[in-house]
Amino acid sequence: MEAAVAAGADALGFVFYPPSPRAVTPEQAAQLCAGLPPFVTAVGLFVDAAPESVRATLDRVPLDLLQFHGDESPDDCAIYGRRWIKALRMRPDIDLAAERARYAGSAGLLLDAYDPARAGGTGRCFDWDRIPPEIAPDIVLAGGLDADNVAEAIARVRPYGVDVSGGVEAAKGLKDPNRINAFMQGVRDGDTRR
Ligand X SMILES: O=C(O)c1ccccc1N[C@@H]1O[C@H](COP(=O)(O)O)[C@@H](O)[C@H]1O
Q: Could you tell me how many helices (H) and strands (E) the chain has, helices first? A: 7, 9
* Shortest distance in whole angstroms from residue 59 CB to ligand X: 22
Closer to ligand X by Cβ: residue 30 or 88:
88
> Whose Cβ is closer to ligand X: residue 30's or residue 47's?
47
CB-wise, 76 or 112, nearer to ligand X?
112
Q: What's the closest the beta carbon of residue 31 comes to ligand X, in angstroms? A: 20
Query: What is the rounded CA–CA span in Å between residue 4 and residue 66?
Result: 19
For the beta carbon of residue 81, count every other beta carbon within 10 angstroms: 7
| Of 49 and 110, CB closest to ligand X | 110
Which residues are at the interface with ligand X (CB under 6 A)? Answer: 13, 15, 17, 20, 22, 45, 47, 69, 110, 112, 119-123, 142-145, 163-167
Distance CA 2, CA 9 (A): 10
The CB-of-58 to ligand X minimum distance in angstroms stands at 18
Minimal distance in Å, beta carbon 66 to ligand X? 13
Question: In angstroms, rounded to a whole number, what is the distance separating the alpha carbons of residues 66 and 74?
Answer: 13
- Helical pair 177-193 and 150-157, crossing angle rounded to 10 deg: 30
Contact 17, 46 (CB under 8 A): yes
Q: For ligand X, which is the closer residue by CB, 72 or 163?
A: 163
111 close to 103: Cβ distance less than 8 angstroms: no
Burial class (CB in 10 A: 0-12, 13-18, 19+), 98: exposed
To ligand X, the closest distance from the beta carbon of 22 in angstroms equals: 5
